[in-house]
Amino acid sequence: MEITYIIQKSRRRSISVSLLGENRVLVKAPYGISEGKVQEFLLSKKDWIKKHLEKQNQEEEKAASLGLLSADEIKEIRKKARKIIPERVDFWAKKIGVTYGKIAIRLQSSRWGSCSSKGNLNFNCLLVIMPEEILDSVVVHELCHRRHMNHSKEFYAEIERVFPDYKRCDKWLKENGGVYLKRVSC
Ligand SMILES: [Zn+2]
């Protein structure tokens, strides 16, 4: 695999690498860094880069074979999401024993859900085209933030208490979610 890197220099101290897609990576580095140091750094991250670029390529291929979601499909998904998500939130909030504020449903290309300190919830409408338990796992995750506004051990213990299948669903979302996001052009 041939990898192209783009270097962005700034007044930072450390060096980092992130993926850009199409076998390209972005290296952020401090001014004055030598070419040798950049190469050395990239070599030390070689396995990580390769693994993640391969995953990204597979996701892009799968998304391309499925095709972009059409405007009509997205309209249907939004409609379904506006009906189903509030129902699931209500169900799980009662089960967990927490309250919540407003529910916003959006089409997003990066995240699945969020919970503000005021208890306002935000969900990606693409969750409704996934297996039901995946949507539930995200709803439970966000609602458990009403108990713990962090990702502490106690937070995950709370999730496990009400939703024992959480780990498997979280893994599924990490492995398969990318394809869903790539079927949206935004
Ligand atoms: Zn969280």
Q: Are residues 107 and 128 in the same domain?
A: yes
Work out the average pLDDT over 104-115: 91
Question: What is the average pLDDT score of the chain?
Answer: 93
- Quick one: 27 and 54 in the same domain? yes
Please provide the DSSP assignment of 67-111 as one string: -PPPHHHHHHHHHHHHHHHHHHHHHHHHHHT-----EEEE--SS-
Distance CA 159, CA 127 (A): 18
Ligand 1 midpoint to CA 98 (Å): 16
Q: Please say which residue of 66, 94, 110 terminates a domain.
A: 66
CATH classification at residue 168: 3.30.2010.10
Structure-token match 């499925």, residue found: 66
151 and 128 in one domain? yes
Last residue of a domain, one of 66, 87, 103: 66
Q: Are 58 and 129 members of one domain?
A: no
- Domain match, 55 and 97 both: no
Task: Give the total number of structural domains in the chain.
Answer: 2
pLDDT in tens, 123-175: 999 999 999 999 999 999 999 999 999 999 999 999 999 999 999 999 999 98
Q: Give residue-wise pLDDT tens across range 10-60.
A: 999 999 999 887 789 999 999 999 999 999 999 999 999 999 888 888 888
Whether 110 has a pLDDT exceeding 90, the answer reads no
Task: State residue 33's pLDDT score.
Answer: 92
**CA 50 → CA 19, 42, 44, 98, 180, distances in Å?**
10, 11, 12, 43, 22
pLDDT at position 90 over 90: yes
pLDDT number for residue 40 = 94
* Domain span at 33: 4-66
Judge if 47 and 112 occupy the same domain.
no
Please give the pLDDT value at position 123: 97
Average pLDDT over residues 103-119: 92
Q: What is the pLDDT of residue 14?
A: 93
Residue 59: per-residue pLDDT: 85
Burial of 86 (0-12, 13-18, 19+ CB in 10 A): middle
**pLDDT average, residue stretch 89-96:** 97
* Amino acid letter for position 39: Q
The CA 85 to ligand 1 mean position distance, Å, reads 17
Cα 49 to averaged position of ligand 1 atoms, centre (Å): 26
**76 and 48 in one domain?**
no
Give the distance (Å) from ligand 1 centre to CA of residue 84: 21
Tell me the residue type at 93.
A
Q: What is the share, in percent, of the chain residues with pLDDT greater than 70? A: 99
Q: Give the distance (Å) from ligand 1 centre to CA of residue 144.
A: 8
- Residues 162, 94: one domain? yes
Q: What does the pLDDT read at residue 186?
A: 57
